[in-house]
Amino acid sequence: MNRVPRFDPVIHAPGRLQICAILSAADEAEFAMVRDAIAVSDSVLSKHLKQLEEASYIKLRKQAHAGRQRTWLALTPAGREAFAAHVAELTRLAAMTAPTPLGQGFSG
Amino acid sequence: MSEDPTPAEALEAIARSRRAVHDRVATGGWRYDLTYAAIMAGMVGGQALEIPFNVFASTFGVLALAVIFQHESRRTGLRITGVSPRRARWVAIAMGLVFAAVMLGIVYLRRTASDVPVALIVAVAAGIAFVLALVGSRVWRRVYRAEMGTGE
């Protein structure tokens, strides 16, 4: 995947990073599944989702089933693009900061 | 993970989250794959029957696929269609083409080999479809699993 690396502060926060990682692996994920996967409370997850929604990175869909309402979350095309660019930037930075094996670095 | 993770920590967190998604989908995967293969066997084998039974086989097959997809979505909390992952979609597309070819082959056989018992064509077609669906489904899972590890 050739993306232009771009650091995204909205995505980079740990909770939102995990949310985007989960959503990037599926078409949609259910609110409770994401909450349990990243081990946060409903209110903390809602706060993260609000920030991602304000950035137009995710969309929410409500669905009633057996008298219960479920909320399904999905990355928007812009969200997928931003997440891929962020991962590309992280990969680039990680490669830059990776320790140089002995004997291959500057020897003076 | 800290509030301001290093790039390596962030990449590890992403990989961990994606593995968690895969593990959730993989649990109970055999049961889903066997059910899917049985439905495909009925759909494909049913094409050897006369009208309207072949139409019934297709209709009930599509409905049954929709039902198991919904059931799986509720069970895992995830909706993943076969064609959405970047690499695994090619397995799903290949399976679709193979099933279409098998169905056309059945229709051709029914028209040209009228002396072959219908029950035999149904049984052979259903058997082939069952094996193809099961193998295809397992291959799709392997490709999806590999894809989850690449960050794509």
**pLDDT 10s per residue in chain A (108 long)?**
556 788 899 999 989 999 999 999 899 999 999 999 999 999 999 999 999 999 999 999 998 877 888 999 999 999 999 999 999 999 999 888 776 666 555 544
- Contact (CB, 8 A) for A74 and A59: yes
Q: Tell me if B7 and A37 make a contact (CB, 8 A cut-off).
A: no
Computed on alpha carbons and rounded to an integer, the radius of gyration of chain A in Å comes to 18
SS3 A64: strand
Domain at A9-92: CATH architecture? Orthogonal Bundle (1.10)
Are the C-beta atoms of A8 and A78 separated by less than 8 Å? no
Q: How far is residue A86 CA from its own chain's centroid?
A: 9
Q: Where are the domains of chain A?
A: 9-92
Residues 28-67 of B with CB under 8 A from A: none
| CB pairs A-B closer than 8 Å | 86
